[in-house]
Chains A and B, each alone.
Chain A
Amino acid sequence: QLQLQESGPGLVKTSDTLSLTCTVSGGSITTTSYYWSWIRQPPGKGLEWIGSTFYSGGDFYSPYLKSRVTISVDKSNDQFSLKLTSVTAADTAIYYCARQGDSGSTGCFGSWGQGILVTVST
């Protein structure tokens, strides 16, 4: 059974770079037809798509975050990562990693990690 697990620092300083990793187990990140995504949720608020990537290339990012976001894949370790630069308090959120392509549709996020709370503070 596929499992996704986010990891990284829970506290980041204002203007620094937020870096998170998602480890995929129970499946390979190089399996075709799947995209790997990051989604976030500020405390008490709604979900926001950050971006998605395919293991062999092809990244798509939210136009609101595109200038600050990079998603990359580590095929040898079945991991993918998120980097968000120049963070502010507005970037405080629970960050989820997720897989697109479950049930044969790339238009939905079928598998999710448990989420990791990242707080941005001075």
Chain B
Amino acid sequence: QSALTQPHSVSGSPGQSVTISCTGTNSDVGGYTYVSWYQQHPGKAPKLMIYDVNKRPSGVPDRFSGSKSGNTASLTISGLQADDEADYYCCSYAGNFAFAVYVFGTGTKVTVL
């Protein structure tokens, strides 16, 4: 399983929306609803922002939303804020009936202009 493909960077001004794509294959993103997204600030551990494609854990603002179409998942951040500046990683289940495997994306740096 190769890493899922994400854009290296995206940027937006405060208040704008940005969307990060995460492209995989039929064996991972396209085959399951276990797609999750993580936010990582410098020097910190990743934080779960979206799970099961489009669900938000308690405490995550509804400015963050997820979706999936075919082999590509997306994370949209609406109403961009300064604190949203961070690295974002997608993750997908990629296993089968015999074993479980998880694969992360290459990561995207979000810059708030």
Docked-complex contact A103 and B100, CB < 8 angstroms: no
Say yes or no for B64: interface residue by CB 8 A criterion. Answer: no
Binding site for A on B (CB under 8 A): 1, 3, 32-36, 38, 45-48, 51-52, 55, 57-58, 89, 91, 93, 95, 99-107
The answer to whether A119 has its CB under 8 Å from any CB of chain B is: no
Please name the residue on chain A nearest to B53 by beta carbon: A107
Q: Are A49 and B102 in contact (CB under 8 A)?
A: yes
Q: Residue among A48, A63, A106, A107 with the most chain B CB within 10 A?
A: A107
Q: Do residues B52 and A47 form an inter-chain contact, with CB atoms below 8 A? A: no
- Is B89 within 8 A of A47, CB to CB? yes
Looking at the complex, which one of B35, B58, B91, B101 makes contact with A109 (CB distance below 8 Å)?
B91
B109 to chain A, nearest CB (A): 11
Give residues in A with beta carbon < 8 Å to B: 39, 46-49, 52, 60, 62-63, 96, 102-103, 105-110, 112-115
Cβ B106 vs Cβ A46 within 8 A: yes
Q: Are B38 and A47 in contact (CB under 8 A)?
A: yes
Give the shortest distance, in Å, between B40 (CB) and chain A (any CB).
Answer: 8
Given A103-B55, A108-B51, A109-B36, do A63 and B107 touch, yes or no (CB 8 Å)?
no
Evaluate contact between B91 and A63: CB separation under 8 angstroms. no
Which B residues lie within 8 Å of A114 (CB)?
45
Inter-subunit contact A47/B34 (CB<8 Å) = no
Q: Which of A46, A63, A106, A110 has the most CB of B within 10 A?
A: A46
Give the CA-CA distance A38 to B89 in the complex, in Å. Answer: 16
- CB <8 Å contact, B100 and A52: yes
Does A47 lie within 8 Å of B46, measured CB to CB?
yes
Do A107 and B104 have beta carbons less than 8 Å apart?
no
Chain B residue numbers with a CB within 8 Å of A110 are: 48, 51, 57
- New A-B pairs, 4, CB < 8 Å, besides A47-B38, A47-B91, A49-B103: A49-B102, A96-B46, A109-B48, A112-B46
Query: Are A102 and B104 closer than 8 Å at their CB atoms?
Result: no
Alpha-carbon distance A106/B102, docked complex (angstroms):
11
